[in-house]
Structure 1
């Protein structure tokens, strides 16, 4: 019970810290917006820097409770750039496979191809998704996963961190439209934790998270967890007769059963990789 109280208490503090830091950040941005007489640019900046609100409490709790006695955040690694690159390639593979299956089965049709490199909204999305990946991975895999894993076991750490990761998206648009979005996000949390374990580097998970989001939204033209984030390379039209189970509906690829299938395959491969390395 003492161990459970310690873990649940620290997670509660982390969540409270996230809400407080988010509120403070948005409040500061709002005051600046009022002072300057404009809200558009400032509110866009708030959206970009909001993921920082997840990084701050994770770092504070990590050092305040001297967690380095039990685990490392795995941010300092001799092969950080290489691991991030490998994670990014795995993310590209996973989301591209999901898109191709949806397209091959007639779920979407490509109606136009846009030039995006000169579009400011594309680069804004790049920065946003990089910060989101850094913030959510440090928060979910870096701190919560390691906290639970070191007090219990790796499987329990994966399950708890993935459930909390899914619940963090519970207020996203269209997330409750079917069972697929929450299941997808939970499985994404599982895959990200396994990638973290395989490479022993948070940067690998950050790379996967980053390219999964960026390609989903700004290359293949889907919503990302229910939101739209600027111009995409491909302009697509969803086939309404195919059903949301295939297209993902208003939630994006993460709302599709196809994504569940791909993430399960990745989970199996990564578990085999971990077990093989231990033998």
Structure 2
């Protein structure tokens, strides 16, 4: 007589596509229920916080408590090396977006307005940092933690990376002023994050993601994925072309394409003495 499988065991045996759809639907349900129960907190206060928390918690709950898998198998390695990976990710993301900023100035695709020693730091600057920390964790846990690892259990790593990178671009499809180059860059960045996750751990892309987004809009004042953000510094994009990305921001331009490819080279040349 065959032993009856538990709910978690049956769920774990589902194809990755079904698990991803279920996870996403549960996230949407959680967001809607929260808004109903709090009488429109998200709508009234304009906060993304409940949405990002749902994208963090639901995948972790399914992975750890339903499928009974360790968070380490999701990419959350332990120890001092994990802290170092996170910090290096933060630095890597900040330096990469600063390189984009410098190249845009050097190629005369943008001009810097104001004084570098007089940043416009406000309460919103800190609030946005908290938000982007949540966004970095949320998108990476859902995509590079849950989706990437689920798909790679039964498929090649490159297949999992391509699929999750395409999903990454779909999540940004409704952003304003998007272009073909923007989608290509989002897919490339998604592939870079997947490469980081497989070679090292998920801490590295989380850190990179946080600072890349934060420095893009809130520090250097670029449009972030088509959305206007008030930065502590101000720049002016000169014209709208395939180099600077125009209204969508630098993520819609070839300079970001170049910096992303440099990122691949850096990760390729980096040594990892311990498997993720």
| The two structures share one fold, judged by TM-score above 0.5 | yes
**Aligned twin of 1:267:** 264
Residue aligning to 2:33: 24
Within 2, Cα distance between the matches of 1:268 and 1:76? Answer: 23
Cα gap change, 1:228 to 1:188, in 2 (>3 Å): same
Taking structure 1 as reference, are residues 227 and 68 closer, same or farther at Cα in structure 2, changes over 3 Å only?
Answer: same
- Name the CA distance, whole Å, in 2 between partners of 1:63 and 1:275: 26
Cα deviations across residues 64-87 of structure 1 (Å, max 9, x unaligned)? 542517971233510232211101
Instruction: Work out whether residues 244 and 255 of structure 1, in 8 Å CA contact, stay in contact via their aligned partners in 2.
Output: no
Alpha-carbon distance in 2 for matches of 1:220, 1:268:
25
The 1-side partners of 2:187 and 2:196 are apart by 14
Structure number with the higher helix fraction is 1
Which residue does 2:210 correspond to in 1?
Answer: 210
Most deviating of 135-144 and 269-278: 269-278
* RMSD, aligned CA: 2.6
2 CA distance for matches of 1:43 and 1:29?
11
Query: Partner residue of 2:235?
Result: 236
Question: Aligned pair 1:144/2:147, yes or no?
Answer: yes
Contact 2:221 2:234 in 1 (8 A): yes
Note closer, same or farther for the CA distance 1:18–1:64 as it changes in structure 2 (3 Å cut).
Answer: same
Q: Is the 8 A contact 1:224 1:252 kept in 2?
A: yes
SS in 1 for 2:111: strand
Residue of structure 2 equivalent to 1:246: 243
CA shift for structure 1 position 24: 2.5
Residue equivalent to 1:36: none
Give the TM-score normalised by the residue count of structure 2. Answer: 0.85
**Structure 2 matches for 1:1-279, cutoff 5 A?**
6-31=15-40, 42-44=44-46, 46-66=47-67, 68=69, 72-79=73-80, 80-113=82-115, 114-117=118-121, 119-175=122-178, 178-200=179-201, 202-229=202-229, 231-240=230-239, 243-273=240-270
Question: Normalised by the size of structure 1, how large is the TM-score?
Answer: 0.84
> What number of residue pairs does the alignment pair up?
261
**Does the CA contact (< 8 Å) of 1:221 and 1:233 recur in 2?**
yes
For residues 29 and 196 of structure 2, the distance between their equivalents in structure 1, rounded to whole angstroms, comes to: 30
Gaps of 5+ in 1: 34-38
Structure 2: which 5+ runs fail to align?
Answer: 1-11
CA 203–277 in structure 1, closer or farther in 2 if over 3 Å, else same? closer
> Shift of the alpha carbon at 1:249?
1.5
Using the alignment, how far apart are the partners of 1:110 and 1:29 within structure 2?
43
User: Could you tell me how far apart the structure 2 residues matched to 1:27 and 1:263 are?
Assistant: 40
1:273 is displaced (CA, Å) by: 4.1
Aligned counterpart, 2:5: none
4+ long deviations beyond 6 Å = 274-278
**Alignment partners' CA distance in 1, 2:21 and 2:40:** 29
